Amino acid sequence: MSSLKHFLLRAVITLLFLAVPILGVWTFVKAEEWGLWFPPTYSTYGPSIDFLFDVIMWMVAVTFVGTELLLVWFFFRYSKKDATRATYTHGNHTLEMVWTAIPALLLIFVAFSQMKAWSTVKINFPEDGPYTVAKPLMEIYASQFDWRVRYPDAQGNFEGADVIEVPYDITVPADTKVVLRLKSRDVLHSFFVPVFRLKQDAVPGMEIPVWFEATRPGDYDLICAELCGWGHYKMAGKIHVLPKDEFASWLAKQRENLYAKD
């Protein structure tokens, strides 16, 4: 092969490799426009989760683009026709220290920067509102393959004839710290509400408290995010967020209906 042909071949293959980071970055830039990005967030802690996502995404993006460009450059640089013999190396201690220390520091940075969001979402449950861990608004049972929400009777009991049970549809008040108790009747499921940036596993044998404060009335998707069997795809529910006063009258109406049935 002539050296011009060889050069052209190297150039073409190098450009093909270069297409990977270019397409990767382009997809990220266009994702929102193409509807592949997150939905907007409508919970009080949603923005802090998004911020963490952005921090980690930028770290990953810079690393990805950097290593891809190096790869492309090395590919071109070391594919010369009369390449020299491979060299033997015992390694480079300084270089190894550097590439161990940098990821370690980045991981420590990630660990510290997520502490506040984690404690807000998973540790410090609301104590000042109408609903608390001891007195939740509702219990949610996950089972193969549905969601079942139970609202307690007027005294706050979850047992008895006056408990309201609704499949798939969860109705909650807006601008209120809602606490719920998550349970599973069979296997692992995961309670995932994308617009709240909320995801919590439902574990058989455990009662797991979950909280959120919705900031905007509307109907939002509830998805099972843990592969739980053949009907996993059917575990698509809805969260209806109502203005506070509408929620109060909705709940009162459910209680009335309960008696109307008898």
Q: By the criterion CB under 5 A, which residues form the site for Cu ion?
A: 224, 228, 232, 235
Residue 88's Cα: distance from chain center in Å?
Answer: 45
Residue 184 backbone dihedrals phi, psi, to 5 degrees? -125, 140
The CB-of-239 to Cu ion minimum distance in angstroms stands at: 17
Q: Is the Cβ of residue 6 or residue 232 nearer to Cu ion in the bound state?
A: 232
The CB-of-186 to Cu ion minimum distance in angstroms stands at: 11
Q: Is the Cβ of residue 72 or residue 180 nearer to Cu ion in the bound state?
A: 180
Q: Is the Cβ of residue 10 or residue 232 nearer to Cu ion in the bound state?
A: 232
Q: Is the Cβ of residue 149 or residue 228 nearer to Cu ion in the bound state?
A: 228
The CB-of-90 to Cu ion minimum distance in angstroms stands at: 51
Q: Is the Cβ of residue 176 or residue 190 nearer to Cu ion in the bound state?
A: 190
CA pair distance 262, 259, nearest whole angstrom:
5
The answer to whether the beta carbons of residues 142 and 202 sit under 8 Å apart is yes
3-state secondary structure of 248: helix
The CB-of-258 to Cu ion minimum distance in angstroms stands at: 29
The CB-of-187 to Cu ion minimum distance in angstroms stands at: 8
Residue 208 backbone dihedrals phi, psi, to 5 degrees? -110, 120
Distances 45 to 24, 120, 214, 215 between C-alpha atoms, Å: 29, 8, 9, 10
3-state secondary structure of 28: helix
Judged on CB neighbours under 10 Å (0-12, 13-18, 19+), 14 is middle
Q: Is the Cβ of residue 177 or residue 183 nearer to Cu ion in the bound state?
A: 183
The CB-of-148 to Cu ion minimum distance in angstroms stands at: 14
Q: DSSP letter at 197?
A: T
Query: What amino acid occupies position 54?
Result: D
Q: Which residues contact 2 (CB under 8 A, 6 or more apart)?
A: none
The CB-of-235 to Cu ion minimum distance in angstroms stands at: 5
H/E segment holding residue 219: strand 218-224
Q: Is the Cβ of residue 141 or residue 247 nearer to Cu ion in the bound state?
A: 141
Q: Which residues contact 36 (CB under 8 A, 6 or more apart)?
A: 27
